[in-house]
């Protein structure tokens, strides 16, 4: 009978568990992450106080598609469900008086390609892509060079 030859659900479940048992979480190699080598299930230390670079003007981009770096401090700027501090200067209506760069038009396009009247949810958390600057040594060596033709 066919029914007898098929492994039971319980059997398959056990096999999956056994297969997973030998696997440990991936190690980060030689790079010490922001958690300072504390394992994922360990208690994290409170972050060190960072000395950010003083406010300046638009910084050079390493390649054309790069999200521009934030050339000013953003320490107390909140971005949450109710407020987005960045937009109080970078929105199109405020940019003139604050002299901030207008937020890119591409940020109003949602994931279906429709143009919206406000920032797309994909772009709401600005600091996912735009990062403030600190004089820090690179964590890994990098020999990246931009394409000459579209620098």
83 binds ligand HEC (CB under 6 A): no
d(C-alpha 151, C-alpha 145), whole Å = 10
Q: Is 57 in the site for ligand HEC (CB under 6 A)?
A: yes
| Residue 47 contacts residue 35 (beta carbons within 8 Å) | no
Among 71, 108, 109, 133, binds ligand HEC (CB under 6 A): 71
* Secondary structure (3-state) at 87: helix
Interface of this chain with ligand HEC, residues 87 to 116, rule: CB under 6 A: 87-90, 98-101, 103-104, 106-107
DSSP string, 92-115: TTTHHHHTPPPPPGGGGB-TTS-B
Would you tell me which residues interact with ligand HEC (CB under 6 A)?
57-58, 65, 67-68, 70-72, 74, 77, 84-90, 98-101, 103-104, 106-107, 119, 123-130
């Amino acid at each position: 009978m066919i029914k007898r030859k098929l492994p039971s659900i319980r059997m398959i479940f056990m096999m999956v568990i056994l297969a997973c048992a030998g696997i440990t979480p991936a190690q980060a190699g030689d790079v010490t992450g922001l958690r300072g080598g504390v394992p994922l299930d360990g208690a994290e230390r409170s972050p060190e106080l960072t000395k950010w670079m003083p406010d300046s003007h638009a910084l050079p981009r390493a390649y054309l598609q790069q999200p521009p770096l934030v050339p000013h401090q953003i320490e107390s700027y909140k971005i949450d469900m109710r407020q987005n501090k960045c937009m109080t200067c970078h929105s199109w209506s405020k940019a003139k008086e604050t002299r901030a760069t207008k937020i890119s038009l591409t940020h109003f396009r949602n994931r279906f390609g429709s143009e919206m009247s406000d920032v797309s949810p994909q772009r709401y958390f600005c600091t996912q892509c735009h990062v403030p600057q600190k004089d820090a040594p690179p964590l890994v060596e990098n020999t990246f060079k931009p394409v000459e033709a579209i620098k």
